[in-house]
């Protein structure tokens, strides 16, 4: 694959991630469920990482700050899943 093609695919992935984040935030506004808010933030972070790769160097994914952004995004997904499945105490 050429560098231009890789960059174009990363920009398309960033656009799709941003759109998915918008849908999750809209669902959060409708339901008030934190799961949707955290998923929306995670997809926006993933979108940011893909966009940063496309701008900086599309073929060099070994940059630590790109992995840090992805780590935070996947951490948010894990936290959201654990929070949603945690038993709630009733008062």
Supply the pLDDT for residue 25. Answer: 96
Q: Are 39 and 24 in contact (CB under 8 A)?
A: yes
H helices present in 32-87, as ranges: 34-56, 64-85
Supply the pLDDT for residue 91. Answer: 67
* Span 18-32, pLDDT tens digits: 999 999 999 999 999
SS3 category, 29: helix
pTM over 0.85: yes
> Is it the case that residue 49 has pLDDT exceeding 90?
yes
Average pLDDT for 39-55:
94
């Amino acid at each position: 694959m050429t560098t231009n093609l890789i960059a174009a695919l990363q920009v398309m992935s960033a656009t799709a991630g941003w759109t998915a984040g918008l849908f999750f935030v809209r669902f959060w506004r409708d339901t008030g469920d934190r799961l949707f808010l955290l998923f929306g933030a995670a997809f926006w972070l993933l979108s940011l990482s893909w966009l940063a790769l496309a701008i900086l160097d599309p073929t060099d994914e070994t940059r630590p700050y790109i992995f840090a952004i992805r780590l935070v995004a996947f951490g948010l997904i894990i936290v959201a899943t654990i929070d949603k499945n945690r038993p709630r105490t009733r008062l």
